[in-house]
Amino acid sequence: MRIGIDAMGSDDAPGVEIQGALTARPLLGGEDRIVLIGPESLLREKLAGCGVADWAEWIEIHHAGQVIHMDDSPVEALRAKPDSSIARMAQLHRDGTIDACISAGNTGACVAAAQMRLRRLANVHRPGIAIIMPTFHGPVALCDVGANVACKPQHLHQYAVMSSVYARTICGIQSPRVGLLSVGEEEGKGNDLIKRTHELMKADASVNFIGNVEGRDLFCGTCDVMVCDGFVGNVIIKLVEGMAEGVVRGMAGEMAAGLPPELAPQAKKAAKTIMGKYDYNEYGGAPLLGVDGICIICHGSSNHRGIMNAVRVAKTFSTTGVNERITTLLAGESR
């Protein structure tokens, strides 16, 4: 397969993307290629200086002369910058030149480009982003985390179906337990959206629905998939990131202050280990589920391992037939 990578997406672009493409080689089969999308001369220059002589055996370059920045308004930027790496990449996927998209750039622009250029899978109402959250009790797939901030019950129900397929494929969980995020475990708790979604999910035997869950359940090993609307999910992922940093830093400080000076490095090391357990780079980005293609969205501050793991996710996504499975499960749905 041919895997496109937006070379200008991450905070440290294009270095991170190039390094990611180089280290991803062992993941690729003989026919597989990585297509870096960005300013051709810049990318050639960087690749020439990378010390890997044979990069051209698995990396191709496709020119894109513009860049969408993190603070650009997604839809306006896509209109104003048709030659941007994100717009070009989505177009290449649509044309069939590439079979997957990876970007650590502006999430809104990636989602909008994918939605504009790629079709939805049959019977899918709205695509959703499913992120794998590392927790002390194992990974939890959280969907949606920002593609859709105006969810309807049918959208949330489909996120449960699609994320279950994804969690089974990527995390190897045979029958993922699905929780619906609410303000209480009881069936009647929540707002109107949640109450109506609860009914839909309860009636679908293909989903291993365990009922409503609460915020704390994300860290308790209660469920393998947690479904919420994109507004709530986006608040959550940013909150968790901010808090993990704050608590770990505070804890390291407290430890260091109370320890004999020669043991202070130990506190730093523990903080690093613990942050590693929350490291999104291990999971290589979040797929936009429900589009007829493969679109993997990475964190803006991804490192090259994050990009490399996104390549791995794209490969797994393709070889295990995630989209085909979703299409089968949703075959009975009417639009």
Using CB under 8 A as the binding rule, the residues of this chain from 23 to 42 that contact a copy of itself are: none
| Min separation Cβ 199 and a copy of itself, Å | 17
> Which pair of tokens denotes residue 304?
């090259």
Residues in the chain: 335
Paired tokens of 189:
């708790």
Stretch that binds a copy of itself, among 15-23, 51-59, 111-119, 248-256 (CB under 8 A): 248-256
Residue 287, classed as helix, strand or coil, is: strand
- Say whether residue 80 binds a copy of itself (CB under 8 A): no
Contact between 127 and 118 (Cβ < 8 Å): no
Contact positions with a copy of itself (CB under 8 A) in 118-137? 135-136
The smaller minimum CB distance to a copy of itself, of residues 48 and 235, is found at: 235
Q: Shortest Cβ distance from residue 260 to a copy of itself (Å)?
A: 8
- Taking CB under 8 A as the rule, which mask of x and - marks residues 275-294 in contact with a copy of itself? --x-----------------
How far CA 92 is from CA of 62, 73, 76, 160, 316, in Å, comes to: 9, 22, 20, 29, 20
48, 56, 80, 149: residue in contact with a copy of itself (rule CB under 8 A): 149
Place of tokens 């090993």: 221
Answer yes or no whether residue 250 interacts with a copy of itself by CB under 8 A. yes
**Residue 141 near residue 132, CB atoms below 8 Å:** yes
Q: Please state the closest distance from residue 69 (CB atom) to a copy of itself, in A.
A: 13
Binding of a copy of itself by 214 (CB under 8 A): yes
User: Is the CB of 92 or the CB of 236 nearer to a copy of itself?
Assistant: 236
CB of 18 to a copy of itself, least distance (A): 28
Per-residue mark of binding to a copy of itself, 56-75 (x: CB under 8 A)? ---------------x-x--
Per the listing, tokens 């490192």 go with 303
Phi, psi of 174 (to 5 degrees): -60, -50
Amino acid at 327: T
Q: Closer CB to a copy of itself, residue 57 or residue 254?
A: 254
What CA–CA distance (Å, rounded) separates 208 from 79?
41
Torsion of CA 105, 108, 110, 115, to 10 degrees: 180
What's the rounded Cα separation, in Å, for the pair 269 and 162? Answer: 38
Side chain identity at residue 165, one-letter code: V
90 is an interface residue for a copy of itself by CB under 8 A: no
| The two three-digit tokens of residue 30, written as one number | 């003989």
Which of 3-11, 42-50, 123-131, 227-235 is the region at the interface with a copy of itself (rule: CB under 8 A)?
A: 227-235
User: Does residue 93 contact residue 109 with C-beta atoms inside 8 Å?
Assistant: no
Tell the smallest beta-carbon distance from residue 236 to a copy of itself (Å).
6
- Residue 83 found at the interface with a copy of itself (CB under 8 A): no
Closest contact distance (angstroms) between CB of 106 and a copy of itself is: 11
Strand order in the sheet with 33-38: 59-63, 33-38, 2-6, 100-103, 295-297, 286-289, 128-133, 140-143, 225-227, 177-181, 208-213
Is residue 260 helix, strand or coil? Answer: coil
Contact call for residue 153 and a copy of itself (CB under 8 A): no
Q: Which of 122, 274, 279, 301 binds a copy of itself (CB under 8 A)?
A: 274
Q: What are the residues binding a copy of itself (CB under 8 A)?
A: 71, 73, 108, 135-136, 146, 149-150, 181-184, 186, 188, 190-192, 194, 214-220, 228, 230-232, 234-251, 254-255, 258-259, 263, 266-267, 269-271, 273-274, 277
